[in-house]
Amino acid sequence: MIILFAAAAAAATFLGGLFALRFRDKLHLVLGFSAGAVIGVAFFDLLPEALKLAEERYGHSDIISFAALGFLVYLLLDRLFFLRYCNGENCGNPKHRGGFGAGTLSVHSFLDGMAIGLAYQVSLAVGLAVTLAVLAHKFSDGINTVSLVLKDNGTREQALNWLLVGSSAPVLGVLSSSLFILSGQTLGLILAIFCGFFLYIGASDLLPESHHAHPARWTTIATVLGIAVMYMIIKLTEGYIL
C-alpha cells in the first residue's frame, strides 16, 4: 500500500510537469506561479516543520540560522559555479544551472517519500495523514521542476529527464525509509537548509526571470496565486506536512 501511495506522489509530480510543458508558451506566468509556490513551501511548510522537529534540541534562532546558511550556500554555488557571463547585451545562461535547481527539488521529493515511509512506521493514521499532505503539493513540485529547466533555456527533453528524476524520487524515498531512521532533530535541520534553498530559488531566480520582458501585472498575480494556493494546501493539511 505504501508503494502505491508513493506511486501516486510520482504521478502527481509528473502530471504537474506535463502541465508546465503544455503551457510553456505562457512560461512567464508559469514561472511567476512557480516562484510563489516555492516561496510558499519555504515559509509555510519547510520552516514551520523544521522548527517543530528540531526545537527540542535547538533554539528557534539556531534553526533559522540554518535556513540562512542554506540561502548563503545556494548563493555561493550560484555565483561561483553557475555564474552568468554577460558581454553587453549578450548573456550566457548555462543550462546545468536549471538542472541544479531541479535536482534540489528532487532531493526534497526524496525526503517527502521518506516521510511517508517513516510515518507508517508510527501508525496507519499518521501514515495516511502524511501521504495526504505530500500528495497535496506534488503537482506544484512538477511544475517547479520543469519551470527551472525551461527558464535556463533547457530543452523539452532535458525538462522531461529531470521530471522523471523528480517523479521517481518519492518512490526511492519510501524504499529508503526501511533502511535507516533519521532523527527528528536532524531532519529538522535539513528542512531548514532546504528552506533557504527554496527562498533563493524563488526570490532570486524564478521571480526576476518571470518579470523579464513581460508585463509585471499578470506575473505578479500569478506569483500571489502561487503563494495563496500553497498556503491553502498547507493549512488544510497542517501538522503533517514535510
Q: Torsion over CA of 242, 53, 123 and 40, rounded to 10 degrees?
A: -20
CA distance to 96, 146, 165, per residue, from 158 (Å)? 10, 9, 11
**What pLDDT digit, counting tens, does each position of 183-213 carry?**
778 888 888 988 898 898 888 767 776 666 5
**Per-residue model confidence (pLDDT) at position 90:** 44
**Per-residue model confidence (pLDDT) at position 89:** 44
| Class of residue 172 by CB neighbours under 10 A (exposed 0-12, middle 13-18, buried 19+) | middle
Length of the chain: 242
* Residue carrying C-alpha cell 506536512: 241
Distance CA 6, CA 56 (A): 30
Three cell numbers written together for 61: 534562532
How is the chain split into domains, by residue range? Answer: 2-236
Distance CA 195, CA 68 (A): 8
**Per-residue model confidence (pLDDT) at position 87:** 41
**Per-residue model confidence (pLDDT) at position 92:** 47
Distance CA 242, CA 8 (A): 16
Which residue numbers in the chain have pLDDT < 50?
83-92, 241-242
Three cell numbers written together for 92: 550566457
Name the residue among 232, 237, 214 with its Cα closest to residue 31: 214
**Per-residue model confidence (pLDDT) at position 86:** 43
